[in-house]
Amino acid sequence: MPKHVSRASDARAVDSFIETRLKEGAARHTIQKELVALRGTLKVAKRRGDFKCDIGAMMPDGFSSGYKPRVRFLNGDEAQRLLAELTPDRAARCVHPRDRRALERVRPRQRIDIDWRREIVHLRGTKTEGADRAVPIVGASFDLLTHVERYAEGIGGLLFRPWANTR
């Protein structure tokens, strides 16, 4: 961007971009991702000395993607149908009570600690203060955790095999 362009025109350009994308029918969530990419690009340009303006002043205030996480989850029948379509190791991965990223690092010594007598599972989390915790084994969890113990087929010291694209 030329050095003579003012901050106001930079902000107008971003506002115009948003307006154009909305008219084109782009989802607000998509536009939010594009704004994040723009901000990142401008940060690199600023660090290199190629962009002098205040990035925060040109980005929109209060633009929201309107994203709301889904509250729906698979019921028992849907979960059984999904698991039947997966290899045993991948099905075990799906029922393991950890987030996807944490699963990438699980090693046998960190394998979920299942205390069948006390009916709890110790999750060895590190991401937040409450991540390392014990959770009760309830309902269908008994069968699901049995599946994890039985079918996880890790390699290279990991509990699970690599799964590059879970989506």
Range of the domain at 90: 76-151
Are 160 and 106 within 8 A, CB to CB? yes
Q: Do the domain assignments include residue 69?
A: no
Instruction: Specify whether 87 is located in the same domain as 130.
Output: yes
pLDDT of 117: 85
- SS3 label, residue 149: helix
Digitized pLDDT (tens) for each residue of the chain, 167 residues in all: 444 444 556 888 999 999 999 999 999 999 999 999 999 999 999 999 998 888 888 898 888 888 887 788 788 788 889 888 988 888 877 776 566 666 666 665 555 567 788 888 777 677 777 777 888 888 777 887 787 778 878 777 777 777 777 66
* Domain count of the fold of the chain: 2
pLDDT of 166: 66
Instruction: Specify whether 82 is located in the same domain as 144.
Output: yes
Read off the pTM: 0.45
pLDDT of 103: 63
Q: Which of 89, 74, 102 is nearest to 148 (CA)?
A: 89
Instruction: Specify whether 38 is located in the same domain as 104.
Output: no
**115 backbone φψ class: left, alpha, beta (φ>0; ψ -120 to 50):** beta
